[in-house]
Structure 1
């Protein structure tokens, strides 16, 4: 797996309306009820209020409201704190506060909630003393008063199977891959993370039915149904088998040659789409991340760029990346409970001016190829299998040192972005601007970008020069931003969570921690995977990393195989710490 720089259902009829509202708080789940006078319309709801992190004087929280009643075109959620909590910042909602009373209103893109639809927002707040979770909420002026539902009222119907929600991660558990979980749990200390959700990689045709006795796609979906129980569950799949895959790298080359687009369509995408369309799985929310490490290569690694490769020139000329992605989006997007997220590289690849805009345009070209439309794209994913820091706290792109811009530092190197969060939010804005849905959501892979441990800076670097300032303060400790293979010193990042920031549907662990990026030496294999010197710790580099050392760990196996030493290092350097 390489990363290179170069970028409504009908309304219910009732004689008396009574809607249930369930509040699930960070300290436990408490059932409450919402009742109204006969004939008065009111939305039913579930509210999930979670404190996501907390320190001595402040905390962050995420709130998800799910509409279980009739559709609404806008919403207002109200609650009152028992203490002195004060909201200081919010995203995905407009918040106001008078004393202890808080009001959160939808923003332009998330006000409409169909039956079963959800909206999530987050905020940061200050507090002192205790930080009790609110016990009472109002949705559109109706109080969840802690009473009980009317026993004569018919039960609330669940949302129709296969209906899409705004954010597939909101109010849902996420599938834990038992195969990865078993490997993680077998490692010393691994049980601390072995129940985290990770992506299921369909990286070859054989993976659809299972490789070497392993679980195939149906087996994973059947297990997902078991894990789901009576709630909502999201399954994460990686669609990863384009013809001429990973044209700028060798470690994760695939089984299909550059011209085998028909094989890709009929033997790979069509069987996957047929399984996902089975009514048996209609109650699952299925996230597909479509073709990691493909489209950006057609911008950054083709002639006349100095980083051009012959293989990428071939893929640009034959158009099979565009055709393949368009076909996948059209076929998978036709399944009503599938949510397509297209790969959008990472800031250390596409953050430069000459990569950013052209890449967005290329994404739109692919999204409208082979009968697809932008409506088949639910969102985009960034930083998949990469190491870019989520947020650099000790310097910003607007800082200067002795009159010299941070952009001029060797590390930033004129990039527009310093981290993945700022890049993802900016890329989302650009994609919406050029015609994608204003409800577009982004995913950020945080599986290996924590950069904790003893090497994590606690403050800015010295201001003797712009380079000492940036290098002394940056969390990302790679030798160069272009290094991507089994990076030494990396750590697990933020744990998977829904709606953590503005425009972000979720932080995810799409790349399962402990799976190798590529072999440190040439290893004969029948998977079509080559040897990339960027996975060799003795390699002195190439133009893509400005001829720096690779920073790779030694003794790594083939890409996708279990790499115990890497898993142990990721746990050791996790941030937040385990």
Structure 2
């Protein structure tokens, strides 16, 4: 789940603020209530902020923030009872159980420790009929916190909906997500494509011309105007990919950008500033605008610079001039100042940053960028992983802790000492690490599942033979790439989980940020006016480089330049979809 930046204006959504601790007055003296146990136990106290972030005819979404005003605790349990027939249907960042009207929320492994003054947040979706009153009382570790304002009372000045510019904890919760009509039309024109043509995908602003509309296509205002039409009377999130840094994609060629390594001022004044101005138009204040900020940039400054064997001269240049860090910081600052914008920073994927010597330094790099050019960590609502990549969401047939004949699966050629085997475990671990680095404890993660389904006849149903760690892992893994480092138009890939809000603890949403059917890069050199080069990793005959351990590229043939429609890939993604398409 994400969080509301501390710099945001106070919310006018449904709120229940509970007094810090129960006090008993007697003869001019007060006694502080203690948690369950004997006298002398740790003093307990709390403030609970209960917000109904969305509400519709039969359901609602809620954010709950606990602030510990008593002694530090290592675990917490929050209890309350609904006054009506509300039923929790889905929760995140806490284990939530319900018996009748009584609800219990308990911490997860990563958010149980609360020092004095520390806060943590969780959320849930629920169903109801009739009225949806805020619970009257809450208990934290057995201690009653009291003093509730019921926003359904007509004398209460609070508003049951979020006004324009007031951020919610999870922009996807209780909201529709924008369907790009340009992508939808291409998908629907494909045989069988109508099955997914109504899915929401990201809108890529990959050059300055895309702001006004490149080659006669829709510009940013066109998309936002269409989003208002799709929104109707409910809530709607729009997904934008901010992707035009100077010297973009320094370790690859297929997605090179239009700006040279030193053109930071042009990036600011001709790209970010116009986008921020449009997003700040009051006309669009009722939209939830999700920005995924500069994919494939900051991790390159960790993994593809000297003295790494995978270093490139371009990445060394971008680290030396600091323009990736400055550019990301500037974007976060400018876009984060718009009240209804939710910034998510790209955090690579487990097959890139999952190793011990990549994970920590990358988190440090994210923190550096998030505090550059006037930005603060409050400008970061969360992070996105696996953007435009193929890493499996969850490997069911083995874990990182498995051994075969005494050998750890980490020693297998596929895992190669990585700390993670899939994107879900990586995303949750990265989230915990980022919080420890100073990002808000409520940040949420997005996982791009547009092409990581790996279904079809090649999908294994069990672990491989326990002859060796390699046969065990290779026989059971869903991800059928030749190597984790392969990234371009991968053969055998399929559509993954459909976009959905709050599917797992710490995960704001599964998204299709990369529109299925759009090429990663051309199979051979193709002249173009978009600044995009030819990368041999998109050539199916290429035998590899150190970044993929000198393996074949695994790419599909006859691909167009990046971002252009690739019908053969789209058909393969549908054929290999998991969950399968009906």
Q: If the length of structure 2 is used for normalisation, what is the TM-score?
A: 0.80
Secondary structure of the structure 2 residue equivalent to 1:478:
coil
Relative to structure 1, the CA distance from residue 475 to residue 376 in structure 2 (aligned partners, 3 Å threshold; closer, same or farther) is same
Residue 96 of structure 2 is aligned to residue 65 of structure 1: no
Distance in 2, matches of 1:231 and 1:244, equals 40
- Which residue is 1:54 aligned to? none
1:439 to partner: Cα distance: 0.8
CA distance in 1 between counterparts of 2:536 and 2:379 reads 37
Q: Is the 8 A contact 1:95 1:102 kept in 2?
A: no
Distance 1:456 1:262, change over 3 A: same
Match in the other structure for 1:350: 353
8 A Cα contact 1:48 1:65, kept in partner = no
The alignment partner of 1:363 has SS state of: helix
Decide which of 365, 373, 395 is 1:392's aligned counterpart.
395
CA distance in 2 between counterparts of 1:43 and 1:456 reads 42
Q: How many Å apart are 1:66 and its aligned residue?
A: 3.9
> Counterpart in 2 of 1:518?
521
Aligned mates of 1:459, 1:174 — CA distance in 2: 35
Q: 1:441-497 CA deviation, whole Å, 9 max, x = no partner?
A: 100000000000000000111101100000000000000000000000000000000
Report if the CA contact (8 A) 1:120-1:170 is conserved: no
Distance 1:49 1:349 in 2: 44
Seen in structure 2, the aligned counterparts of structure 1 residues 153 and 334 have a Cα distance that, compared at 3 Å, is closer
Correspondence list, 1:39-54, <5 A:
none
Query: Deviation string for 1:45-99 (max 9, x for gaps)?
Result: 856899xxxxxxxxxxxx85248xx9998884659999xx999x9742332355x
1:271 aligned counterpart, secondary structure: helix
Alpha carbons of structure 1 residues 213 and 435: separation in structure 2 relative to 1, 3 Å:
same
The offset of 1:103, in angstroms, is 1.8
From 169, 178, 183, the equivalent of 2:181 is 178
Match of 1:473 among 456, 471, 476: 476
Which of these residues, 344, 347, 361, is aligned with residue 341 of structure 1? 344
Which structure 2 residues correspond to residues 290-329 of structure 1 after superposition, within 5 A?
290-329=293-332
Native 8 Å contact 1:293 1:343 kept in 2 = yes
CA distance in 1, matches of 2:503, 2:57: 13
Distance of aligned partners of 1:104 and 1:223 in 2 relative to their CA distance in 1, 3 Å threshold: farther
- Report deviation, 1:159: 2.0
Aligned counterpart, 2:162: 159
Matches within 5 A, 1:33-432: 65-66=61-62, 76=80, 91-98=92-99, 103-105=103-105, 120-121=123-124, 140-141=134-135, 158-432=161-435
| Cα distance change, pair 156–300 in 1 and its aligned pair in 2 (3 A) | closer
Q: Deviations over 1:306-362 (max 9, x none)?
A: 000001011011110011000000000010100000000000000001100000000
- 1:553 aligns with one of 552, 556, 567: 556
User: Structure 2 unaligned runs (5+)?
Assistant: 1-9, 16-49, 68-77, 115-120, 138-151
**Correspondence for 2:577:** 574
1:120 Cα deviation from its structure 2 partner = 3.6
Equivalent residue number for residue 34 of structure 1: none
| Alpha-carbon distance, 1:160 to partner | 1.6
Q: Distance in 2 between matches of 1:102 and 1:453?
A: 44
5+ residue gaps in structure 1? Answer: 1-7, 14-41, 51-62, 112-117, 124-132, 144-148
Which runs of structure 2 are paired with 1:477-556 in the superposition (5 Å)?
A: 477-556=480-559
Change (3 A) 1:162 1:467: same
Q: Is the CA contact 2:415–2:421 (under 8 Å) kept in the aligned structure 1?
A: yes
Q: Structure 2 vs 1, CA of residues 404 and 139 (structure 1 numbering), >3 Å: closer, same or farther?
A: farther
What's the Cα RMSD here? 3.3
Distance 1:137 1:200 in 2: 38
User: Could you tell me how far apart the structure 1 residues matched to 2:470 and 2:252 are?
Assistant: 30
Give the structure 2 partner of residue 35 of structure 1.
none
How many residues get paired? 505
Cα distance, 1:93–1:366 mapped onto 2, change above 3 Å: same
Give the conservation status (yes or no) of the 8 Å contact 2:333–2:376: yes
CA distance in 2, matches of 1:529, 1:192: 31
Can you list the C-alpha shifts for 1:270-293, whole angstroms capped at 9, x where unaligned?
000000000111111000000010
Over 3 Å counting, the alpha-carbon distance change for 1:332 and 1:86 in structure 2 is: closer
Report the alpha carbon displacement of residue 155 of structure 1 after superposing the two structures with TM: 11
- Relative to 1, partners in 2 of residues 1:264 and 1:460: Cα closer, same or farther, differing over 3 Å? same
Counterpart Cα distance in 1 of 2:91 and 2:516: 31
